[in-house]
A and B are shown apart, each in its own frame.
Chain A
Amino acid sequence: MSKSFSRRNFVQAGVALPAAASTVAAARAPRVFESASVYERLGVRTFINAVGTITTFSGTLMPPEVQAAMHEASRNFVRIHELQEKAGARIAELTGAEAAFVTAGASCGLCLSTCAVTAGDDREKMKRLPDLTGMKDEIIIQKIHHTSYDHAFRMVGAKLIDVETADDIAKAVNEKTAAFAFVLSHHVLGHKVKLDEYIKIAHKHNLPVILDAAAEVPPVENLSKFVKMGADMVAFSGGKNMRGPQCSGILMGKKEWIDKAYANAAPNNYLPRIAKVGKEEIVGMLAALELYLCKDHAAERREWYAKLNRIAEGLQGLPTVYTEFIPNNDFSHSPRLSVQWDEEKLGLSLTDMVKNLRDGSPSIEASDMRRFNPPWKGLGLFPYLLQAGEESIIAARIKEIIKEQASQG
C-alpha cells in the first residue's frame, strides 16, 4: 500500500522529469503504475531492469503476443512429439537451419548436444548416460571458453579437454574425441582460434561442433549465420532478447545431429528428461522467434540509443557527472551507457549508487561496470529491457541520489 503510494508520489513529483518524458508518462501510463500485486503479495521485489537478460533477474519480459500464444497453447491437448516436429520445421524454415527443436533453455541445448555426440541415438548407450564407458567422451574446448555452463557438458559425463592453439587441437584430437565446443559470449573474449577456423579443423577430423550462442541475438542475422558457417549444433536462449519464455531455447543445426539430440530429449526417458519443456513454452518460443524476425531491428536500435540519450540528457549539469557510450567488443552489439562521477568529491561510491538504486522505489537494477569483462568505469545502463518511460525514472532517481548526497556532503 505505502509502496504504491510512494511510487505515485514519486512520479507526480514530475518536475524532476524532462518535459517530453512526463508527457509520455501521462499518456501511456507506464508499467510502474500498475499494481505488482502478484509479486508484492509474496514479498518479492520487482524492479526496472537496466542490467540485461540475466537469468537470476528472470531473463526477459514476454511481449503480449507471446503471452497470448502461450495462453492459447495452454487450452488444448496435442501430441508433444508432433508439436516439436512441426515447431522445429517452422524454426528451421525461418532460420535456414537443416533442423531445430525447442529446448528448456540454452544450457539444456548444450546438454542435449553432448548426448548426441556421445550416445547418439543408440538406445543402449542413451540409457547408460552419464556413464560414458566405452563411448567417445572427450570434448575439445579452448581454455578461455570455460564458463559455469561447462556443467551442461559434464552432466552427460563428458570430459573437457583444454586447448589454446590450432597446434594444441591437432595434438588433442584422438579416437575418444566426441566433439568440439565453442562458446560465443562477451565473458570469454580473446580466444586464439576463431569460430570459422575452429569449424574447419573439427570437420577435417570429421567431428561436430557444438556452439553455445545463448545470448548472441541481436544481431538477428546470427540466427542463420552460425549454421551457415557450418556449426553442427547451435544453442540459443529463448528467454533473452528474443523475449520468449524464460525457460525456453532453440537447438538448431545439421539434421543428423539434431535428430540424435532430439532422440535424447524430454519427454523421451533418457538423461535430459529432467529438463522438460511444455506445450506452452514450445509455442511461446516459436511466437517469440516469429515476432523477433519481423521486428524493425534498426528502429529498435534507434529507440535504445534514444532511451540512453534521454538518461544522459537528464543527468546533464550535475556536478562532476560524465556520461559516455562505451564501445562494444562482443557480438551482441547492444549499446550501453556508462555514468561516472567524482566519487570522492560527491562522497558517493559506485557501490552505494548501485545499492541506493536497488533499494529505492521503484527498485532499479544497474551494473557496476568494474565487474565487466573487460572492466569499465562507472555505472552501466543497458536500454533493451526498459519499458517505455522507465528511462526517465532512472535519470530522475540517479539525479535524486546524487543531489541527496551532495546536500549531505
Chain B
Amino acid sequence: MNRFRTSWDRRKFLLAAGLASTVGSLRPGNVYGAYLADRHGESYRALGVRPLINAAGTFTTLTGSVMAPEVRDAMAEASRYFVPLIDLQLAVGERIAKMIGVEAAMVSCGAASSITLATAACITQGDPDKVRRIPDTTGMKNEVIMVKSHRMGFDHAARAAGGKIIEVETPEELENAINEKTAMLFFVHILESRGKVNRNHFIAAGKRHNVPVFNDAAAELPPATSLSAIVGEGFDLVGFSGGKGMRGPQASGLLIGRKELIAAAHKNNNPHSDTIGRGMKVGKEEIMGLLKAVEIYHKRDHDHDQVQWRGFMERIAAMVSDVPSIDTEVYIPGPGGHPLPYLRVKWDERKVGLTYAECFKQLQDGEPRIDVNNKNTGLELASYNLFPGEERIVGMRMREILLAAAKRA
C-alpha cells in the first residue's frame, strides 16, 4: 500500500522535474523510467531506509559508491563456487599487480584495513611469532612516524596493529626521529599540503634509513594514474579504498607495493587465523568484485567521465540560475581535494529568506532524498556519484526550494 504510493508520488514528481527542466532535450519517459526501475531501492524502502541521490561525495557513511553492473555480476558469479581463499588472494593480487604495473598487490577490507596491514607488515616483517603477538609490540620495532598535521581518525588503524605514533613537523625532525625502533613512515596523501614535510622528504628519509614508507591514498582515484604512479614515486606501500572512485565493493581496499612487504601483510591478514587481520574479513565475492572494478577502472575513459561530470554540474547551475542573488561556480579543487568537477552554490540568505542549513535539510527531507555538502559559506555539490538524469532532479529540487523561499521572503 505504502510502497505503491511512494512510487506514484515519485513518478509524478519526476515527470514534473522533466517538464520543468530548462536544459537539453529531455525525454522523461526514458531517463526516469530507467531510473525508477533500476534505482528505486524497493528492499531498502521495505526496511524503512530511504535511498538517496549522492551529490556529496564518496563518504563511507553514505555508502561510498555504487558498483558498476559488471562488478555486481562478478560478485554474484564469484559466490557460486568454492575456492581456496588463500590461493584466490594470491592469484588476484598477482593479476592486479601485473595489470597496474606494480611489484605486488593484495585485496583488503578497506583503506583503513590497508593501513593496519601495512603497519603490521612493517612491524612483524611476517615473523610468525610477532604476527601472533601484535598489537602487543613489546620488544619489536613499533614506532610509526607521521607528520603532526597528518594525524586524523585513520591513524587509529596504525595504532590497531601496535604502532606507536611519533609526530614530526619539519624535515629535520623527521630525520632525527628515525631510530632503530622505527617500523614505518606513514604519509597521508590528501594532507600533503598541510605541514612542512612533503612526500619527497618521506621517500628520501625512508631510503636513507632503509625504513619502509607507506602512503595512505584512500581517495586518490581518480586520477587513474595514481594506481601505479604513487608507488612509482618511491613509496614502498600504498593503500587505496576500493569502494570510492574505483566503484568496487564498499568493504574492499587495495594494498600495493613491494613484494616482500605485501607477503608480510598477507601473513597478518584473514583468512589466516590468529592474526590482527582475521576480523577484517574479505570474502571471495569482494575479492572478485574488486578485481573486476580495477579491470574496468584501468581501461576506463576517464576524460569522458570528466566531461560528463562537468556537464552535470553545469546543468544544475543553469537550472537554478533564475533564483534571486544566486551565484554558482563549477570548479575543480586544488591540492587537498579531489581533482573532479564540483559546484558551489551561494545566495544571499537574507534576500532568499533561506539559510544554507535549511536548504540542506530540505534537500535531505524531500523525496527523493538528496545529500550535498553544507560548507556554511554555500552548498557544495560533488558530480561523480550522480547518475545520468539525477542532476536534473537535484537542480529541479534546489530551484523549487529556493524559489519557494524567495516568494515568501
Closest residue on chain B to residue A246 by CB atoms = B283
Contact partner of A104 (CB less than 8 A), chosen from B154, B271, B280, B284, is B280
Chain B's interface size range is 35 or more
Nearest CB of B to A238, in Å: 10
User: Interface size of A by Cβ–Cβ distance < 8 Å?
Assistant: 82
Complex CA distance for A288 and B67, rounded to whole angstroms: 21
State which residues 24-71 of A face B: CB under 8 Å.
Answer: 31, 34, 36, 38-39, 42-49, 55-59, 61-62, 66-67, 69-71
Nearest CB of B to A85, in Å: 8
Complex CA distance for A246 and B288, rounded to whole angstroms: 13
A396 interface contact, C-beta 8 A: no
State which residues 1-54 of B face A: CB under 8 Å.
Answer: 38-39, 41-44, 47-54
Complex CA distance for A239 and B52, rounded to whole angstroms: 29
Complex CA distance for A147 and B64, rounded to whole angstroms: 35
Is A108 in contact with B280, judged by CB distance below 8 angstroms?
yes
A218 interface contact, C-beta 8 A: no
State which residues 52-79 of B face A: CB under 8 Å.
Answer: 52-54, 60-64, 66-67, 71-72, 74-79
Is B285 in contact with A76, judged by CB distance below 8 angstroms?
no
B328 interface contact, C-beta 8 A: no
Asked, given contacts A104-B279, A150-B274, A245-B283, whether A275 binds B92 with beta carbons under 8 Å apart, the answer is no
State which residues 70-108 of B face A: CB under 8 Å.
Answer: 71-72, 74-88, 91-92, 95
Contact partner of B112 (CB less than 8 A), chosen from A42, A152, A274, is A274
Asked, given contacts A48-B82, A58-B84, A275-B281, whether A70 binds B76 with beta carbons under 8 Å apart, the answer is yes
Contact partner of A78 (CB less than 8 A), chosen from B38, B63, B85, B157, is B63
Is B85 in contact with A157, judged by CB distance below 8 angstroms?
no
Asked, given contacts A55-B271, A58-B283, A239-B283, whether A44 binds B72 with beta carbons under 8 Å apart, the answer is no
Is A56 in contact with B271, judged by CB distance below 8 angstroms?
yes
A336 interface contact, C-beta 8 A: no
Q: Which of A191-199, A278-286, A337-345 contacts B (4 or more CB under 8 A)?
A: A278-286
Q: Which of B121-129, B243-251, B392-400 contacts A (4 or more CB under 8 A)?
A: B243-251
Count of inter-chain pairs, beta carbons less than 8 A: 257
B381 interface contact, C-beta 8 A: no
A380 interface contact, C-beta 8 A: no
Is B79 in contact with A62, judged by CB distance below 8 angstroms?
yes
A276 interface contact, C-beta 8 A: yes
Is B160 in contact with A31, judged by CB distance below 8 angstroms?
no
Complex CA distance for A108 and B72, rounded to whole angstroms: 24
Asked, given contacts A42-B95, A79-B62, whether A108 binds B156 with beta carbons under 8 Å apart, the answer is no
Complex CA distance for A78 and B157, rounded to whole angstroms: 25
Contact partner of B278 (CB less than 8 A), chosen from A62, A152, A365, is A152
Is A73 in contact with B44, judged by CB distance below 8 angstroms?
yes
Complex CA distance for A407 and B339, rounded to whole angstroms: 70
Is A276 in contact with B251, judged by CB distance below 8 angstroms?
yes
Q: Which of A12-20, A265-273, A397-405 contacts B (4 or more CB under 8 A)?
A: A265-273
Is B275 in contact with A38, judged by CB distance below 8 angstroms?
no
Contact flags A118-137 to B (C-beta < 8 A → 1, else 0): 00000000010111000000
Nearest CB of A to B186, in Å: 14
Is B279 in contact with A275, judged by CB distance below 8 angstroms?
yes
Nearest CB of A to B375, in Å: 20
B212 interface contact, C-beta 8 A: no
List of B residues within 8 angstroms of A322 by Cβ: none
Complex CA distance for A90 and B78, rounded to whole angstroms: 28
A355 interface contact, C-beta 8 A: no
Closest residue on chain A to residue B47 by CB atoms = A86
Contact partner of A39 (CB less than 8 A), chosen from B88, B115, B271, is B88
Complex CA distance for A56 and B74, rounded to whole angstroms: 20
Asked, given contacts A42-B95, A46-B83, A365-B82, whether A276 binds B110 with beta carbons under 8 Å apart, the answer is yes
B159 interface contact, C-beta 8 A: yes
Is B160 in contact with A45, judged by CB distance below 8 angstroms?
no
Is A151 in contact with B274, judged by CB distance below 8 angstroms?
yes
Q: Identify the interface centre among B66, B160, B275: most chain A CB within 10 Å of its CB.
A: B160
Complex CA distance for A155 and B276, rounded to whole angstroms: 6
Complex CA distance for A90 and B43, rounded to whole angstroms: 13
Is A107 in contact with B160, judged by CB distance below 8 angstroms?
no
Complex CA distance for A66 and B43, rounded to whole angstroms: 12
Complex CA distance for A34 and B116, rounded to whole angstroms: 38
A148 interface contact, C-beta 8 A: yes
Is A56 in contact with B85, judged by CB distance below 8 angstroms?
yes
B135 interface contact, C-beta 8 A: yes
Nearest CB of B to A181, in Å: 15
Is B84 in contact with A74, judged by CB distance below 8 angstroms?
no
Is A276 in contact with B88, judged by CB distance below 8 angstroms?
no
List of B residues within 8 angstroms of A278 by Cβ: 63-64, 243, 249-252
What 16 additional pairs, Cβ within 8 angstroms, besides A70-B72, A86-B49, A276-B109? A44-B88, A57-B85, A70-B76, A76-B44, A78-B52, A78-B63, A81-B61, A83-B49, A129-B159, A131-B159, A151-B132, A151-B278, A266-B110, A273-B112, A274-B116, A275-B109
| A-B CB proximity, top 10 nearest | A246-B283, A278-B250, A269-B153, A148-B274, A148-B273, A76-B51, A247-B281, A278-B251, A276-B110, A108-B279
19 A-B pairs with CB atoms under 8 Å apart are A31-B81, A44-B88, A48-B82, A55-B270, A57-B83, A72-B42, A75-B38, A78-B50, A79-B52, A83-B44, A90-B47, A108-B281, A149-B273, A151-B279, A152-B279, A266-B110, A276-B112, A278-B249, A278-B252
